[in-house]
Chains A and B, each alone.
Chain A
Amino acid sequence: MSKAFTLALSLLSTPALADWQLNMNEGVTALSREIFDLHMLIFWICVVIGVAVFGVMFYSIFKFRKSKGAVAEHWHENTTVEVFWTVIPSIILIAMAVPATATLMDMYDTSEADVDIQITGYQWKWRYQYLDEDIDFFSNLSTPREEIVNESAKNPNYLLEVDNALVIPANKKVRFLVTANDVIHSWWVPHFAVKKDAIPGFINEAWVKVEEPGVYRGQCTELCGKDHGFMPVVVEVKSEADYAQWVADQKAMKLAMANEASKKFSMDELIAKGEGVYQAACAGCHQPNGQGIPGAFPAITGSAIATGAIDAHVDIIVNGKTGTAMQAFKEQLSAADIAAVVTYQRNALGNTVGDMVQPSAIQK
């Protein structure tokens, strides 16, 4: 009975506490705690100054009212006081700047990293490339569309969940090399106090050393277009052994994917597979029903490309279209995925071309 009660209490109280969170997360790294302390220090300095200034002000408001018979005095200058309240704030600020600079120097020290991961922002997903391992994958929002449009109940990680999380080892210094493929994004995990702009043509550096395994969630924080609110960051921190296992699994998966590329699929198999790929990779712009957004993103239904020559159709998906939001998907999708989505677009969403393409025919 008491156990059930405790459980019920924790179920009730946990979301309620999270809902009314007032302050910054302290985070899970030494650096994030240092930043949290700076935040609290400057906050309390502001509180003290605020209490003093507003105290005098409200005292004056209550005490020196005409209705209480207050008569205005005539002084309007006092050099001593004016020098005093110029000098004192300056001293406080210098005192504040010293620890802030020290923390900043720590943040900028990206030397001697154990793991290097390149993070690339795309509209509207993240790509993670492990520079020392042959691991390279994309991370998309995995919250179902029905939850976003309020057709089903929202899960606790609503908008903060992805298909493939970034996986890093605990207690290792992980260096992130952050860049972007199209517009500027910004990679942020509040619990790490790591926020770095992802800028096309630039590589920015940041680092993290997490002590405890766990799952940490963040979001893109630089306006990057329509789905800026829908490109979360999820980082799974694993113990060293689990991390090694994960790396091995990734390599095995890559092998399986290579085999799939030479497999021969039936039309139905391709369409079925293609629907999933379409909803994950294309529907964001071209819309789940293929109608696009007039003036911004073209429709797939009845489009010249999706109903025209199949080679041109494959080409625009593989190589993208320069100067538009249409990305080159050769890095993001496997040959089997591209074959499937091309076949799906030609034979669904109101199109009835009737042909198909096999993975082996996709030239990346």
Chain B
Amino acid sequence: MRSPGLFICLLLLAQSLSAQEEANDWGGDEWEDAESSGLLWSGFIEAALGTRWERDQQVGRKQTLGDARIRLETEWTGERLIISFTGDVWYDSYLGELDGELRDLALGFSPGSNWDVKLGRQILTWGTGDLVFLNDLFPKDWVSFFSGRDDEYLKAPSNAFRVTGYSNAINIDLIWMPVFEPDKFLTGERFSFFSPLAGQLIAPDPPLSGIEPNQGIENGEVAIRLFKTLGGNELAVYAYHGYFLQPTALTDTLQATFARLAAIGASARLPLGSGLFNVETVYYASKDDRSGDDPRVPNDQLRLLLGYEQEAITNLTMAFQYYMEWTQDYDALITNSAMPQFEPEEYRHVLTGRVNYRLDQDKVTLSLFVFYSPSDNDYYLRPLLTYRYSDHWSFTGGGNIFGGNKRYTFFNQFEDNSNIYARIRYNY
């Protein structure tokens, strides 16, 4: 870390909080009552460091992560209202700047006995995939994910109106995001990537940015989910109208931008044998290029996911997923592409595997998540070790390891960004 002083400050702060915590421990007889004790503040302080094996040629840096972070969260519960707040402030030693993120600041209430509303900034998630997203078209933070921040940060917050209705027949989720919120995609600032235009790995400076749609009411995003649980079987259908979350389209002047997207999908999750089976599918309609012959705009795709998870032996869970992207109008894509050699295969197949092992009364978790694509012949490994030393202190170490044999394939383009990281967290 570039600023050991800040790190020491964090440790001292953690220690003083620790001492304060011991004082109001359960030695006495108070039972904390969430309903009556007013605002309860909690959160954590965390230091995180990550590094590549060696300096990346394009980015010109070896470091990938260096955060000193404070999380603050609380919830105010009134008679008819809930106001939730979660915010992070951190010094990012990689960028050399102080950053902040409001992850949740929302108003919750229930108009009528069958409706829940949540208005404001919030994290949104649905779908059945494990680190594979089909119908979840809410923003993701891939920079945090690839650099070894907690998995929680993969989900980026949205400004949204969420209305959920419940009935015996069916439940409905309606989400409106008035302003399009893209992914936090790789820009070249921290990680290099393959550019088909340049025909090589790049780390553009200034970093890649996508031209976002105008902020008008017609350019918002709408996501709908109809869902029902029948016995132990969870069924859902989804629809989305908005934009591709990554700037995968090009303007007339060859600047990166976000193409319009409409999606419709369905999923099911149910017990099968002694494990859990899930299936999910989605059709992405690329609204700016329905015939697929515009090489600057992504084509339509049909995506399919099948998954199975089971406890193999006591405390050891294994999970497998098969995921497929089928690019539509593929002949038109190849015919019109300026760089057909860099286009993905018509069918991109990905297999994922997860092994999770809990030890020492759940204090220690060992996990390995593997992405492997037989069609691209590349992979992405995510080993992880978490040690929850106490209710306050936890230690995490892990890696993001990419490999393959073609420079332009999805995972292998990040090979030189492979990194390992460690985090220390104090929960208060």
User: Do A and B assemble together?
Assistant: no
Interface residues of B (CB under 8 A from A): none
Interface residues of A (CB under 8 A from B): none
